[in-house]
Amino acid sequence: MGSRTRCHRRAAASPAAAAFTPDALSVAARHLEVGGEWVSSFAVVGFPREVHPGWLAPLLTYPGRLDVSLHVEPIDPVTAASRLRRQLAKLEAGRRHTAEHGRLFDPQVEAATEDAYELSNRVARGEGKLFRVGLYLTVHAATEKALADEVAALRGLCASLLLDAKHTTYRSLQGWVSTLPMGLDLIGMRRTFDTSALAAAFPFTSPDLPAPDPTSVAAPSGVLYGYNLGSQGLVHWDRFGEGMHNHNSVILGRSGAGKSYLVKLELLRSLYCGVEIAVIDPEDEYARLAAAVGGTYVHLGARDVRLNPFDLPVHTRPDGRRTAPKDAVVRRSLFLHTVIAVLLGGELEGAERAALDRAIAATYQSVGITADVRTWTRPAPTLGVLRDQLANAGQAGDHAAGELAARLHPFVDGAFKQLFDGPSSVNPEGHLVVFSLRDLPDELKGIGTLLVLDAVWRRVSNPAIRRPRLVVVDEAWLLMRQPSGAEFLFRMAKASRKHWAGLTVATQDTADVLGSDLGKAVVANAATQVLLRQASQTIDEITRTFDLSAGERQFLLSADRGQGLLSAGTQRVAFHGIASPTEHHLVTSDPAELAAYATGPDEEADTAFVDLGLHQDDLAA
């Protein structure tokens, strides 16, 4: 193999540097011995004429250990134009010389000339730029014989990709250093790429999910879910992308599989993309996250926190004008019938419904709200006003109205008045709105859930908001126990796409969701489906519903925390969710970690904006 040079680590090296320095380095003409490994490096000098998005992904799926290094250096427009002119001049001169001497044209020269003209036109129109790109590969093996086999396999793979990989002969050390994550190109064997070819060369897409168009000038969209367990590539998915049937997502997994963790990660990263989000939080797990990103936290069950069911759906447009549906009063009256039925624990009889309808109309009229749109901005009445109208009607001889007034007493003056003893005290507006239901008394869970769902739907159906929105329902099995909650999920799953919105449903009680028609409808209307680790008792139902293969079934039974199966249409990929330290601090629900955070400095939450690189004004824009 030629001469060898052996270097040993100096004893004077610092302990920190020693951790990254091999004990010995033996340099040969075409390989290195680095510690106990044998490595050989290649420089790619030939590329195919046409490439497709993610065309370098097979290098990431190489079964052995392979380091891939892509060095990119932009070329300024003046230099790019000058080089293109010189290249075109050379090619045209060659073609004319061939024609003058009556020789046959070289097909490779003809193809190169056409490509050069097309590239020149794209650069001139500003549709792309030029870059100098160096692609280097380093393969590892345990022995010299194994290295020879790996080298042969790698060169065969490169040949199948129409790549011409050459040994870095007598520069094996420089080739190895060029593939280390240090940004050093000691080989300097570059090739000129345009923007679309360079974008297609980046293997940062999952081979099992459709990749976005790399030639698009639009900003990248979607969120990072994690890395591909099969290829180590990144799993990046856009629920609002073109071609999606809807923007809904369902996340199913056993307790402790990482459902809430993954939901919070997607929520946080969706905020980066300008998506507006509303969260229905039955377990009060999103308070820290809402505080960190400047969101609105509606803590139902806390003192002086109210949502008035009589508020009319009047929306403020970006230009300051206020709009509302033409039949806003009629719609709100119908909703109040549902509110009273939930409060009283059952459907009303005919006489009671008639009395209630008259009392609702009189309640709005008593505060000056009529069918005239100009009156809809006046302060809305409260439940106490409705009770008084029913009581007055009862004194006038309407026994059904008097009975309703008596039954509403606990919610106006009694023990359950905390949600209704005044106008709305919170304004559920902003880029992130979290509705916490944990501290609601059991007697008010039903009505509290109904008020929250009404507030969310009014926000989603607001035509003045022209941006993508997500509605996140964590621990959905708790919500589906309420009839109004199950109907809301069904309506959101069916109609959210029309309002540029998506529904995210996360639950651990898979049997309850798949055991009801409404639950199956929610799952069937989710274009994005994420399955985390499943219990053996429910895996048969999951297998039938999602048509899992034997390998996918076994994977879901043995998956580690944070590992799951992302299914989008006919595409499926096994991934592992990843989070940065700052994201982990905000989304973790581990009791031990939360206890440690609670004993930390009080100002930690105030610095979260700096750590995330976020600002309230930016998120609210």
Please give the pLDDT value at position 145. Answer: 92
Give the C-alpha distances (Å, rounded to integers) separating 369 from 321, 373, 374, 420: 19, 9, 9, 19
- Residue spans of the domains in the chain: they are 5-201, 248-295+432-599, 323-425
Mean pLDDT score of the chain, rounded to an integer? 79
Rg over CA atoms, the chain: 32
Contact (Cβ atoms closer than 8 angstroms) between residue 292 and residue 605:
yes
In angstroms, rounded to a whole number, what is the distance separating the alpha carbons of residues 502 and 248? Answer: 5
Supply 342's token pair.
Answer: 């939930």
Paired with 75 in beta bridges are 130
Contact (Cβ atoms closer than 8 angstroms) between residue 297 and residue 277:
no
For 36-63, what is the mean pLDDT?
Answer: 83
Identify the CATH assignment for 323-425 out of 2.30.30.830, 3.40.109.10, 1.10.8.730, 3.50.7.10: 1.10.8.730
Question: What's the sign of the alpha-carbon dihedral 362, 488, 474, 569?
Answer: negative
In angstroms, rounded to a whole number, what is the distance separating the alpha carbons of residues 456 and 471? Answer: 8
- Amino acid identity at 232: Q
Please give the pLDDT value at position 609. Answer: 36
CATH superfamily of 248-295+432-599: P-loop containing nucleotide triphosphate hydrolases (3.40.50.300)
In angstroms, rounded to a whole number, what is the distance separating the alpha carbons of residues 261 and 238? Answer: 19
Are both 248-295+432-599 and 323-425 of the same fold? Answer: no
**Long-range contact pairs involving 103-109 (C-beta distance under 8 Å, separation at least 24):** none
Supply 549's token pair.
Answer: 């293969």
Q: What is the DSSP string of 226-288?
A: EEETTT--EEEE-TTSTT-S---EEEE--TTSSHHHHHHHHHHHHHHTT-EEEEEETT--SHH
Contact (Cβ atoms closer than 8 angstroms) between residue 56 and residue 202:
yes
For 543-569, what is the mean pLDDT?
Answer: 86
The number of C-alpha atoms within 13 Å of 199 and in the hemisphere containing its C-beta is 15
Paired with 139 in beta bridges are 40, 66
Whether the model pTM is above 0.75: no
pLDDT, tens digit, 9 for 90 and up, residues 306-339: 888 888 877 655 555 655 666 788 888 888 888 8
Percent of the chain topping pLDDT 90: 14
Among residues 488, 501, 505, the alpha carbon closest in space to that of 276 is found at: 501
Least confident of 8-12, 142-146, 271-275, 385-389: 8-12
In angstroms, rounded to a whole number, what is the distance separating the alpha carbons of residues 87 and 75? Answer: 15
Please give the pLDDT value at position 519. Answer: 75
Q: How confident is the model at residue 20 (pLDDT cuts 50, 70, 90)?
A: low
Q: What are phi and psi of 571, to 5 degrees?
A: -100, 135
Please give the pLDDT value at position 605. Answer: 40
Please give the pLDDT value at position 397. Answer: 84
In angstroms, rounded to a whole number, what is the distance separating the alpha carbons of residues 447 and 301? Answer: 12
CB-neighbour burial class of residue 225 (10 A; exposed 0-12, middle 13-18, buried 19+): buried
Q: How confident is the model at residue 63 (pLDDT cuts 50, 70, 90)?
A: confident
Contact (Cβ atoms closer than 8 angstroms) between residue 386 and residue 309:
no
For 116-121, what is the mean pLDDT?
Answer: 68
In angstroms, rounded to a whole number, what is the distance separating the alpha carbons of residues 451 and 439? Answer: 15
Contact (Cβ atoms closer than 8 angstroms) between residue 609 and residue 616:
yes
In angstroms, rounded to a whole number, what is the distance separating the alpha carbons of residues 316 and 258? Answer: 38
Among residues 570, 572, 568, 540, the alpha carbon closest in space to that of 553 is found at: 540
SS3 content of the chain, % helix, strand, coil (to 5): 45, 20, 40
Q: Is the pLDDT of residue 8 over 60?
A: no
Contact (Cβ atoms closer than 8 angstroms) between residue 502 and residue 471:
yes
- Amino acid identity at 587: V
In angstroms, rounded to a whole number, what is the distance separating the alpha carbons of residues 459 and 14? Answer: 59
Contact (Cβ atoms closer than 8 angstroms) between residue 449 and residue 482:
yes
Contact (Cβ atoms closer than 8 angstroms) between residue 71 and residue 136:
yes
In angstroms, rounded to a whole number, what is the distance separating the alpha carbons of residues 166 and 48? Answer: 15
Please give the pLDDT value at position 434. Answer: 92
For 47-64, what is the mean pLDDT?
Answer: 78
Please give the pLDDT value at position 258. Answer: 85
Please give the pLDDT value at position 319. Answer: 53
Please enumerate in sequence order all residues whose Cβ is within 8 A of that of 243, keeping only pairs 6 or more positions apart, or say none.
none
> Per this entry, what is the length of the chain?
621
